[in-house]
Structure 1
């Protein structure tokens, strides 16, 4: 994923030479998400995300990707005061923080938020620069995350190039205030209704048809913001 989540305060690319002695203390809860309003989604979580979050598609540097709206005006409505999540559907990228992946061209790089460097944390590399057992486990999860992001981008690209996504400008008004979305992408339901059966079959066999409908209907979840804000 090329977009770096807002939670990253000092994101750096990990290097076994530069960060040979780096120690990391993982966060105890999701309080780092307090001010995050938008989270990029991986392919495997799009459908589950549409149950609670408004899900749309965005474009950055010609890359199309899905994302979930988690808050408004710097307030994450899904986060409790004690740093726990209000629902069980937590975006994948949050589960890996303070680590993440950044895509440049066709290469993924592991990034880390330096604010979580700690003298009493776990080492990522041994004295020879090899991955520790602690970091090997994290690295395996990040590899799966990168693959999942890749699948999300491939799905989004096919939908966009096939004319199945159209530009959306949306004004949202909640108890927490107003929010504007400009040049976002949403399912082109009108175009979808005119597709030939064989094209619909192809979309359905890939799981894309369900994603289009679920994401389109997920915009109703902005109505849930007022409810979640009071929990």
Structure 2
């Protein structure tokens, strides 16, 4: 678990930080929240679903098919074309203090905070002000925070028109079929049948782009099955190579062979097969040779 600490001049003037070069910190996140500002890019490579939190529906990137495993993180590398905004601010985060103000914090257990060689980003400049990279991170996280409020309002407008329905996702494994519960999708049939007044309300709230992005993204759920199958196949056939797999190459090979995506979800989007592959290809072509030290 991250251990975030409020960044203050007294506590951090003598310390520095460094940027992360691994996404291992996200390796156990099967889902992560998204904001509306990033959905247009996220939907092109990530499957998106809504998760109900109390009475609200929040868009999330679906990153795994079982708890505690993010299939888009392989050997510390993020392998999807789009990286959710929440990860791009790491190891920083915003936290609300007792004074109701938002404070910039950093994960003290990230290994990215310290003093001496390797920690090349000071928190404060010579004048005692926040260093520019820290200001940039703060601005970025504040944008995400503000966009969360927008996201909640848009999703509330979609919920008001009863446009969310359960996504009955099933995973076919060598041991049989199992369900993934708790995911919701846009009810496309209901969206298409809204009367003009209801459609106008959704449009005015900015809900149409959100709905279309989620529907468009559903085909990407098959990417998770592809990664899971290939990693398992590699572990079985070439276990000594599991830290050298070129997932980018596998995804590009898969993308070049699949048909163009359509907006409407199809039956395939409800079933992810990790038990067997179709359109098999030679894995050895996607293993990077180790570099000599």
What SS class does the counterpart of residue 171 from structure 1 fall into? strand
Query: Is 1:114–2:113 an aligned residue pair?
Result: no
2:184 aligned with 1:185: yes
Partner of 2:211: 212
1:131 aligns with 2:110: no
Give 1:30 shift.
Answer: 2.2
Contact 2:65 2:171 in 1 (8 A): no
Q: Secondary structure at the match of 2:182?
A: strand
Aligned to 2:272: none
Report matched runs for 1:19-58 at 5 Å. Answer: 19-58=12-51
RMSD: 3.3
Q: 1:42 & 1:35 partners in 2: Cα distance?
A: 20
Describe the SS at the equivalent of 2:137.
helix
Provide the rounded CA distance (Å) in 2 between the counterparts of 1:111 and 1:185. 32
Q: How many Å apart are 1:41 and its aligned residue?
A: 0.5
Q: Which residue of 2 aligns with 1:100?
A: 93
- In the superposition, the TM-score normalised over structure 1's length comes to 0.77
The higher radius of gyration belongs to 2
**Comparing 94-103 and 128-137, the one that deviates more:** 128-137
Larger relative contact order (C-alpha < 8 A, sep ≥ 6)?
A: 1
Question: Which blocks of at least 5 consecutive residues in structure 1 are unaligned?
Answer: 1-7
TM-score by length of 2: 0.63
Q: 1:145 to 1:26 in 2, by over 3 A?
A: same
How far the C-alpha of 1:67 sits from its partner, in A, is 0.5
Counterpart contact for 2:92–2:106, Cα < 8 Å = yes
Higher deviation after alignment, 33-42 or 123-132: 123-132
1:221 is aligned to 220
Shift of 1:92: 1.0
Report which of the two has the higher share of strand. 1
CA 1:208–1:103: 2 relative to 1, 3 Å: farther
